[in-house]
Each structure stands twice: as C-alpha cells, then as structure tokens.
Structure 1
Amino acid sequence: MRKVAFYTLGCKLNFSETSTIARQFESRGYQRVEFEETPDVFVINTCSVTENADKKCKQIVKQAKKIAPHSFVIILGCYAQLKPQEIATIQGVDAVLGAAEKFRLFEVLDDFSHKETVQVCASEISQANTFTAAYSLNDRTRTFLKVQDGCDYNCSFCTIPLARGASRSDTVENVVEAARKIAASGVREIVLTGVNTGDFGIIEGERKTDFLTLIRALDQVEGIERIRISSIEPNLLSDAIIEFVASSKRFVPHFHIPLQSGSDTILRLMRRRYKTALYADRIAKIKTLMPEACIGVDVIVGFPQETQKEFLETYQFLNELPISYLHVFTYSERPNTKAIQMQGVVEPAVRAERSKQLHILSDKKRQAFYQSQMGKELVVLWEQEVKEEKVFGFTQNYVRLSAPYQSHLPNQLQSVVLGQWEADGTLQALAPSFAK
C-alpha cells in the first residue's frame, strides 16, 4: 500500500480542502500517514496571504525531501495558483496544481512518477468558476465545512481573488446534506468556512440565496450540537443574522469579524466596504443580545500611509471595544495588488513595533474576557489533544479549558465550572470528577 502525507498552511478553508483531497487518495487505496512516516507522496496545500507563507512552503518542501528523498511532492493551493513557475524552481517539487486543478489531481497527473521537468498545471483563475464541496473529517474534534469560495471584494492589500477566483457557493440543500453526513459520523461541532462566508448564495454566477437562509436551515440538522461561524465581514453581518444566532438552538455566541484598521482613512485606502461606526455598531448589537459572546478581530498594522496618528486611532478604537482577542497581521507587500503601488511605505521596524503593541493589547483583552467567565457554568467540547496528562477543549463562547486527562473525554460535551488561570493560558475546568 502506497503512503501519502499532507501538510496544510493557512486557513480553516485549506484544512477542509486538504481533508477532502486526502479522502480521494484513500478511496484509491493509499494509506494516509503522518508527515514524518516516509510517505511515497507529499501533498502540500499552500497559503499566500503573507510573504512568510511563501517562505514556509519552501521550508516544508526541503523538510519533505529530507524525510523521504525519493518521494513525489505536489504543491497546490493559493501560492500554487499565484506563482506556479516560481514554485517549479524549488528543488524537490514534482508537480504544481492551480485552483481549477487541485481537486482533479488524479485526472491531471498521469501518475506519481518523477519526470524530467516539473509538471505545472495551473489555468487562469477565471477557470476556477465552479464550487467544489469540501469538509474535514477525522482530523480534529471539530469539522470545517466549506460553504463558499472566492471573493469579489478586491481589497487593495489582498491576493485572494487572484488565487481563488470569483465568489461562488454550494446550494443550501447540499450543505445541509453534508452536515447530516458529518453528524452521522459522530462529530459534535461544525465550523462554517469560506473565503467570504457571509457572501454565501452566488451559484453559477447568480445570487440565488443568502447566508441567513443557510444558517436557518442548518439550525434544523439533528445530531450536531454546535455550529460556529469561522469569520464574517462586518458589512455582511446583518441585525437579522445576529438576532438569529442569539436565539439559535445550535449556533454558538462566537464571532470572528475582520476589522483590518480602526482608522477610516486607512479603511478607505484598503478599499474595505464599511467604516468604523458600522463596525462598532455590529459589536454593540452582539453584546446587547449575547453579553457573554466571544468576539475575535483581524487587524493589519503597517499598511501604506498608516502614520502614528492612524495607528493610534486603531489602537484606541480596539481598546474601547468589548472584544475578546485579536489576530494581528503585519502588512506584507503582495505582487499584483493596488497597495504595493501606494506611497507612504511604513518601515519594517515600525510595523514590528506596532504589531508588538497590538499583541500586548490582545493578551489584555483575552485575559479580561476569560476573567469575566470565571465561576460560570458552561459546556466544553473536549478535543483529542493531550499534553502533559491534560485534555483541552473550548466552551461554546470559545474559552479554552483544560482538565486532567481521562480517556472517555475526547469528543464529549461536559458542563463544567470555569476555574482559575493555568500556566498554559487555559482556565481550569471544575466539575465533580475534577474537584480538588
């Protein structure tokens, strides 16, 4: 039996697609193994949001060839679509597949034998115009379910439309059917993923439904206890969606809402589709209906023309919002974007300092949110991860807990009282079986 190993860089959407491609291999008799187990084939699913993601791909190829020198190495994903010829020059790469080819891997590649030249199969991004369903399974306790792909927004810093194409979605019926299959496998939580998840509803080039219709249908799926929205743009997070989540049987009080800048000047340069006033209104609406909700925020520092004034506007805006944590990204110049042509480039050292300040703010926000939850009784879903005789999991509002390991806990929901801080940054889960 031939062996295949996978390495996924980037977002939850990539994880859902890697898992789906892995099942293609398994259906053809391949054994999926860990990266270190000398596989015959390596599949590396790439990201290209930042320059570091590109560099990471090269490092992983080098690592793969060191583990298994005679292996066949396939690169796919966003970086593969954007720079196929560049990837083809990386020593050890055998094949590069673009966005339209990655799910047709067995059709596009005759076999997995080494050729004299690298096989590059990457069509123009306009060819990536159909939706391919994907979801993760048996990789983690939670399942990442892809409902949407591509993006029509063309933010000035972002290469995703170039890497994934136009916005397109699955049908509500197909997503619901996938959720039922996932529930039947014993999964307790689904995370809805997409490039622009809130833009769900464009099918075969036409808008035929919307995200609210989808989540209403998913709320009726029996067997799934929790459904989590991975990320949603503030301009697409309507009052109706917030109100529905607040009253839902299965959708949890956890939102991840990209902001990118707390300065309206920078938001305009970024070509974002909202201002800070709308963003603040969305946060206020959530907290009014769901006071215990966890809210995560994406923010970029060091964007062109971001002076100290605009950075302080961002810092103060975030500091005053009742949010729970930040994902901080340092602006990275990406080819073929509007931003790379802009004046007012921010020095790397300044970008690094601003990133450091926002990481500190994020730690303070997370600590304050966790402290607000101490002593409350919530439900945790225990995960497979075990470290130092401890098991870990998340509450419905995304507080990370830990407890002494017991073999029956993984993939189980348990009502616990949230205790004190642990050294690893989690809160203790206090229940009768864990009482001290």
Structure 2
Amino acid sequence: MKKLYLENLGCSKNQVDAETMLNLLAEDDYIRTDDPTEADVMLVNTCGFIESAREQSIESFFSLHETNPQAKILLTGCMAQRYAQDLSEELLEASAIFGNRDLSKIREVVDRVVNGERVVETYAYPPVKEEVYERNELLSFPGSAYLKISEGCNHRCSYCAIPLIRGSLRSRPMEMILEDARRLLDRGIRELNLIAQDLAAFGTDTGDGSSQFMELLKRLVALEGNFVLRLLYIHPDAFPPELPQFIVENPKVLPYFDIPFQHAATSVLRSMGRTGTKESYLALIESIRSTVPGAVIRSTILLGYPGEDAQAFAELQDFLKKAQLDWMGSFLYSREEGTKAFGLRGEKDHDKAHTVAAKYQKKLEALQQPITVSRLEQFVGKEYDVLIEEKIQEEDLAIGRIYSQAPEVDGLTVVMGRDLVPGSVVRCGIRAVKGLDLEAVVLERVDG
C-alpha cells in the first residue's frame, strides 16, 4: 500500500475536489495518512483566489517539502490551474503541477510522477455528464457534507478571478446531483451544504437560460431521509424572490441565507459590476426576515476596492448598522491580473489603499461583533437540534452547530452532556452566549 498525504486549502468547492481526488487515488491503493513524514506522495490542493491565499499555498508547499523531501509532491487546485507554467519554472521541487478541471486525470498524473516523470498538466473540462464526483472519504466533520451543484461563474464581477480559474458556469446535470445527494444520505449525512459560486445561477447556462435552482430544491427536499439542506452563496442581485416562502413551507431547508453583498456604496457596487444598492439590499434583508421566522443572514464584505473612499466606507458602516447581519466576514481587495478592476489603479496606489483598508477592516469588525452577539441572544432559553462535530476528550463536553452556524465560518455550540457521538443530532437547550459561541445542555437524543 502506498501512503498519500493531502494538504487541502481554500474553499469548500476545493474540498469537494480534494475528496474526489482521494477517492480516485484510493482505487490505485493509495491510503491517506495524517503524517507527512510517512507519505510516498503529497498533494497540496492550492487556493488561488487572492494573493494571501496563494502565499499560504506556497508556504504549505515548502513546509511539506522540507518535512519530507523524499516524497513526490504535487501542486493541485486553483493556483496550479491559473499559474501552471510560472509554478513549473519557479518551483523546481514540485513533482507535478496539476489543474482542477479534469480531476479524473489525477491517477494518470500520479502514476507518471511515481515513474520518475515531471508533469505539468491543466486539462480541459470533460463533458459535464462525464465529470467525476464520487467520494468515499469526506474531509468535513461527521454528519455534514458539501454538495457542489455547479462549477465556474458567469457574473464576471470586476474584482474576481474565479472565472479565470474555474471558467464559465457549468451546471451539473440535475440527476447527477440527486444521485450524489442520495449516496451521501445513505451513508448517514444529516446536513447537505449546497455550494456553487452562485446557487441561484444553477441551470442558467442550459435550456432557455432561466434558473433551475428552485426546481432542484424541490427535487432535493423530496428525497427520503432525515436531513437538512443549507444554502451557501446566493448572489444578492439574482436572489430568487420565491425562496423565503419556499423555506417556510419546507423545513428541510434551513432558514440560513449566505448572501455576499460585498459593499453598500453605489459607486463601488457599480464599479464591481453589481446592480444592487444599499436600499435594495436592506429591502431584501427585511423581506427575508419578515417572511422567514428565525432567519439568519450571513454576508461577506470586500474592503479596499478601487474607488472606496471615506464616504463610501461611511455608507458601508451605515448599511451594517441597519442590516444587523447575524454573521459578517470581510477580506481585503487583491489586485488580480486579468480582471476588469486590475487596471483601475497601479501597484503603489494599491499598496497605500491596502493599508487604509486594513484599518477599515478592524473598524468593521469592532462594529459587527456586538451586533452578532446581540443577534445570538435570540437563541438563549430555546431548544434546538445540534449536530455534534467533536467530542472533547476526557470531558462531558462536545462541539456542535445549530442551524444558525454554518461549517467553519460561524461560531460553534458547546454542548454539555455525556457520551455525545460525532455525527449524531441531539436536542439541546441554549443556556448562554459565550463570545461568538453558544453554550447548551442536552435535553434528549434525536438519533445516534
């Protein structure tokens, strides 16, 4: 048996790719190890979205190579796809550079590397009906899995390199998604997290160009089993107006809305290529909350975009005060070659703006934290199902999540109780807010 070490970086879509590659390599008798010193082959599944993510990918590569210089080490994923030739020339230590479009080729590439060849390949996408998504080992915590419904994006936001990396929108055939969901449910998954660059865009690249997302949701909620669906990433300018009422009528879909507004100043939004306004986004939030009891709204904010001045930032602050988002994440603008925004300012001006944006980011975090804490207070004194993720060793404690907490990005729920099994669901009473987390006590076992 050959040993394989995987370092997976980046977003949940990258994770699905990593799980797919693990499954393919397992067919060639590669067994994953958590110890890089034992590995015969190492994969660094890179992120290439912004500069800081690429830096992390390179750091991980060199750290692993230093840890085990005898192993064959491959760069895979988004950065490998976008910068294959540059990486090939600059990282001579890399045994292979492998993109992220035809994952089925990973077995062939690894075989060639093991046989002494240095490989640089960024294959084209195969026909959508031939793409592979079978997964055996999941990298999520027990009970939860990501379900990718499409690849790429057609929105072409001016700051975003995703279309350069993953191409235009490619919706998976609906029957393939449903079969993927059935396989996950059959193995005991209780939370399916639907992911794409924009869920609502699903199907707009086929047929008459209209979205098929709501039809997909109807088909998914009709599947048998005790499970919930979490919807991640819905573009605010393409938000399906019928979605909130659908969620009210279909409790399998969690009342959790991940809507990346990115900004609120009209001048910035227009330059980004977005059609919304602060007022339309506030109206969307109000519409969701007035329709869906207990609705939780998460968003992402981009700071430092060209043209963001003090007035634009003041508008953004006003938006956040009025929006009262449950969760808010932020990141700093990265000047990406090939995007429309790249030429809006030079490198020197970008560096200056980056420094200002970092200060803005701290101000936003200080503004948002008490809002999040206040929003969390609504859960205290009530009962919720908690998906247990981790057992705390030698203590009657476990870490889990209620419906308002998405994997990895939101706070957690600390559960007091005995014999709590990761992957199981327990009914809990929420006792307190601790920082950005919740504290709960077990009331009854739902399953497991």
TM-score > 0.5 by shorter chain: yes
1:104 matched to 2:105? The reply is: yes
Alpha carbons 1:40, 1:71 under 8 Å: kept: yes
After TM superposition, give the deviation of residue 241 of structure 1 in Å: 1.4
Aligned to 2:251: 249
C-alpha separation between the residues in 2 aligned to 1:347 and 1:45? 30
Aligned to 2:25: 25
C-alpha separation between the residues in 1 aligned to 2:247 and 2:274? 25
Picking from 403, 422, 428, the partner of 2:434 is 422
C-alpha separation between the residues in 1 aligned to 2:120 and 2:234? 34
After TM superposition, give the deviation of residue 101 of structure 1 in Å: 3.6
Picking from 380, 395, 408, the partner of 1:374 is 380
After TM superposition, give the deviation of residue 109 of structure 1 in Å: 5.0
Alpha carbons 2:17, 2:103 under 8 Å: kept: no
Aligned to 2:261: 259
Alpha carbons 1:376, 1:417 under 8 Å: kept: yes
C-alpha separation between the residues in 1 aligned to 2:175 and 2:400? 31
SS at 1:252 equivalent: strand
Picking from 403, 406, 409, the partner of 2:415 is 403
Residues 117-266 of structure 1 mapped to structure 2, 5 A cutoff:
118-123=118-123, 127-128=124-125, 130-131=127-128, 132-134=131-133, 137-139=137-139, 140-141=141-142, 142-202=144-204, 207=209, 210-266=212-268
SS at 1:231 equivalent: coil
After TM superposition, give the deviation of residue 129 of structure 1 in Å: 6.3
SS at 2:104 equivalent: helix
* CA pair 347-44 structure 1, distance change in 2 beyond 3 A: same
Q: Which amino acid aligns with 1:276?
A: K
CA RMSD between the two structures? 2.3
Aligned to 2:114: 113
Q: Which amino acid aligns with 2:291?
A: L
TM-score (ref. length: structure 1): 0.92
Bigger shift: residues 215-224 or 83-92: 83-92
SS at 1:235 equivalent: helix
Alpha carbons 1:42, 1:72 under 8 Å: kept: yes
SS at 1:93 equivalent: coil
Q: Which amino acid aligns with 2:11?
A: C
Q: How much identity, in percent, do the aligned residues show?
A: 25
* CA pair 150-181 structure 1, distance change in 2 beyond 3 A: same
Q: Which runs of 5+ in 2 are unaligned?
A: 406-410
After TM superposition, give the deviation of residue 95 of structure 1 in Å: 0.7
Alpha carbons 2:417, 2:442 under 8 Å: kept: no
Q: How many residues align?
A: 429
Alpha carbons 1:149, 1:195 under 8 Å: kept: yes
SS at 2:252 equivalent: coil
Q: Which amino acid aligns with 2:103?
A: K
Residues 195-344 of structure 1 mapped to structure 2, 5 A cutoff:
195-202=197-204, 207=209, 210-343=212-345
TM-score (ref. length: structure 2): 0.90
Q: Which amino acid aligns with 1:67?
A: T
After TM superposition, give the deviation of residue 138 of structure 1 in Å: 3.4
Q: Which runs of 5+ in 1 are unaligned?
A: none
Aligned to 1:384: 390
Alpha carbons 2:256, 2:297 under 8 Å: kept: yes
Q: Which amino acid aligns with 2:21?
A: I
After TM superposition, give the deviation of residue 329 of structure 1 in Å: 0.6
Q: Which amino acid aligns with 1:402?
A: V
C-alpha separation between the residues in 2 aligned to 1:272 and 1:147? 23
Aligned to 1:61: 61
Residues 338-377 of structure 1 mapped to structure 2, 5 A cutoff:
338-343=340-345, 345=350, 347-377=353-383
C-alpha separation between the residues in 2 aligned to 1:240 and 1:422? 35
